[in-house]
């Protein structure tokens, strides 16, 4: 059993900050709770942040301006996710641009999340992109 407690964010899973990245994450019998956002989390909420592609919105850094073809697969098996700061305990995106979102993160970024034994009462936010891409190429799949 693992416990992720009293942090800014319980877990931050970002598939890629470039092109053609793949990340697999699996949590089993894990408790993610009481992550209260101190210091304030870079991403939203205090529970779990998951995105296949993340665009760093910092003009001082030389980073790619498009984040394409990234995949994140995450499995949560018999996990407890509760009492974290923010409205949603899980924030799940295909692609995400750091605030302020001045441009779409990229295209063909896919996040697959599978919950096994997780409480159905867990509040989560699911968005294909933030901001959303007009072509609809970024996506999120959630299964139980």
Residue 80 backbone dihedrals phi, psi, to 5 degrees:
-115, 120
Q: In the chain, what are the domain boundaries?
A: 2-143
Span 84-102, average pLDDT: 78
For residue 136, pLDDT over 60 is answered with yes
Q: Report pTM.
A: 0.80
Q: Which of 53-67, 83-97, 98-112 has the lowest mean pLDDT?
A: 53-67
Residue 97 near residue 104, CB atoms below 8 Å: yes
N-term to C-term CA, the chain: 21
SS3 content of the chain, % helix, strand, coil (to 5): 0, 45, 55
Task: Measure the CA–CA gap between 30 and 74, rounded to whole angstroms.
Answer: 13
């Amino acid at each position: 059993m693992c416990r992720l407690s009293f942090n800014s964010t319980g877990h931050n899973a970002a598939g890629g900050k470039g092109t053609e990245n793949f990340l697999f994450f699996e949590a089993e019998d894990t408790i993610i709770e009481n992550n209260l956002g101190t210091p304030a989390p870079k991403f939203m909420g205090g529970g779990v942040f998951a995105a296949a592609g993340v665009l760093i919105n910092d003009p001082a850094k030389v980073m790619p301006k498009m984040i394409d073809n990234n995949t994140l697969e995450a499995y949560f098996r018999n996990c407890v996710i509760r009492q974290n700061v923010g409205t949603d305990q899980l924030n799940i995106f295909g692609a995400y641009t750091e605030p302020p979102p001045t441009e779409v993160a990229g295209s063909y970024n896919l996040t697959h999340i599978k919950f096994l034994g997780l409480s159905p009462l867990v509040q989560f936010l699911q968005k294909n992109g933030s901001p959303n891409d007009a072509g609809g190429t970024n996506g999120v799949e959630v299964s139980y």
